[in-house]
């Protein structure tokens, strides 16, 4: 009887933790999707650059409210661009990192 109770409690804990993990991953996926749309649209509209997003990192809320996107200019994989956006502040750009020649060629400036 005691083993069944312990097994039941452990199962409940695993289900709750697993469910929370899945919810956080779904929220991260939604954040990345929206950030990708904002970034690609912004760079196309303001700089006529087509971005290909190849990676991302959503920072935990206790660190900050930012999502980092990494990618490159379409057709040139060596023309990398890393972006940071604040997903709690309407996906406002907080940083851009790219080779100097890209910044100068396209006159890229993203202010806070």
**Integer Cα distance of 31 and 86 in angstroms:** 10
CATH class of residue range 30-106: alpha beta
Half-sphere exposure of 64 (CA within 13 A, CB side): 10
DSSP helix/strand/coil, 22: helix
Write phi, then psi, for 10 (nearest 5 degrees): -60, -40
> The whole model's pTM is what?
0.74
Per-residue pLDDT of the chain (112 residues; tens, 9 = 90+): 777 767 666 665 665 555 545 545 557 899 999 999 999 999 999 899 999 999 999 998 888 999 999 999 999 998 999 999 999 999 999 999 999 888 888 888 765 4
Domain ranges of the chain: 30-106
């Amino acid at each position: 009887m005691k083993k069944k109770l312990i097994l039941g409690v452990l199962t409940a804990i695993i289900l709750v933790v697993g469910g929370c993990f899945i919810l956080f991953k779904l929220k991260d996926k939604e954040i990345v999707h929206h950030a990708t749309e904002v970034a690609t649209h912004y760079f196309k509209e303001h700089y006529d650059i087509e971005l290909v997003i190849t990676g991302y990192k959503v920072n935990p809320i206790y660190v900050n409210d930012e999502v980092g996107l990494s990618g490159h200019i379409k057709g040139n994989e060596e023309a990398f661009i890393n972006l940071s956006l604040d997903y709690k502040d309407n996906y406002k750009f907080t940083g851009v990192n790219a080779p100097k020649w890209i910044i100068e060629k396209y006159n890229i400036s993203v202010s806070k």
